[in-house]
Chains A and B, each alone.
Chain A
């Protein structure tokens, strides 16, 4: 079965850290660019970060630059998001989302079920 499964969410204090993981299965993970997209409670979707298939190109939304780090391990079919210096406004469901190609801008065509991150003291 083709799927993406996120893990690693939970409760963190402001200024704390979390590491999210996304396990891919059922397709050749190394052929596709990947993203993290988040959704704050009751809000719309927000693209957070992008990594191309070979990790050559990496991008972040401005609000997380310098705090979050995206990475991937193609041998383990896994995507990661290291989240440091967490803020209240980082509270959201975090989805990993696949692009249809190895690099470039496209509509996300596959999503995981999401993992909830709550930042609160």
Chain B
């Protein structure tokens, strides 16, 4: 099973700043089958990015994903108030599909 490690655990930033989140895999993720989700308290996760860099429907272009192999990142170019949340990465290149432990982006 592929283990995903997200860093940092918590990111403290101000609105308007740039956020860069990391997701590192214990082995190569097949065909860059890596996704990112946003989750707010009491809500279900929302798909942001799939295929490492493709934005899901309706996702603002301030969200971007990159990476391949074992190292992936999610960048939020300018944080809006609604972007403060927990972000999860998911690999779906091999079974079982596995998630990282999450990165919390909090208001500084």
| Chain A residues within CB distance 8 Å of chain B | 43-47, 59, 61, 95, 105-109, 111-114
Distance A113 CA – B98 CA, assembled complex (angstroms): 20
Instruction: Known contacts A44-B102, A45-B88; decide if A105 and B45 are in contact (CB<8 Å).
Output: no
Per-position 1/0 for B76-108, Cβ under 8 A of A:
000000000000101011111111111000000
Could you write out 6 A-B pairs with CB less than 8 Å apart?
Answer: A44-B100, A45-B102, A47-B99, A108-B47, A108-B90, A109-B47
Q: What would 13 more interface pairs be, CB under 8 Å, given A44-B88, A59-B96, A107-B47?
A: A43-B101, A45-B45, A47-B97, A105-B33, A105-B94, A105-B97, A107-B35, A108-B90, A109-B47, A109-B50, A109-B56, A113-B44, A114-B44
The interface residues of chain A, by DSSP majority, are classed as: loop
Distance A70 CA – B93 CA, assembled complex (angstroms): 22
- Min C-beta distance of A86 to chain B, whole Å: 21
CB atoms of A111 and B99 under 8 A apart: no
Instruction: Known contacts A105-B93, A107-B90; decide if A45 and B44 are in contact (CB<8 Å).
Output: no
Which B residues are CB-close (under 8 A) to A95?
44-45
Instruction: Known contacts A45-B45, A113-B43; decide if A107 and B96 are in contact (CB<8 Å).
Output: no
Which B residues are CB-close (under 8 A) to A112?
44
| Chain B residues within CB distance 8 Å of chain A | 33, 35, 37, 43-47, 50, 56, 88, 90, 92-102
Distance A45 CA – B43 CA, assembled complex (angstroms): 13
Instruction: Known contacts A44-B100, A45-B45; decide if A105 and B88 are in contact (CB<8 Å).
Output: no
Which B residues are CB-close (under 8 A) to A45?
37, 45, 88, 90, 99, 102
CB atoms of B50 and A107 under 8 A apart: yes
Indicate the member of B44, B90, B101 with the most A CB atoms within 10 Å: B44
Which A residues are CB-close (under 8 A) to B102?
44-45
Give the nearest-CB partner of B35 in chain A.
A107
CB atoms of A47 and B50 under 8 A apart: no
9 closest A-B pairs by CB: A107-B35, A111-B44, A44-B101, A45-B99, A107-B50, A105-B92, A47-B97, A44-B102, A109-B47
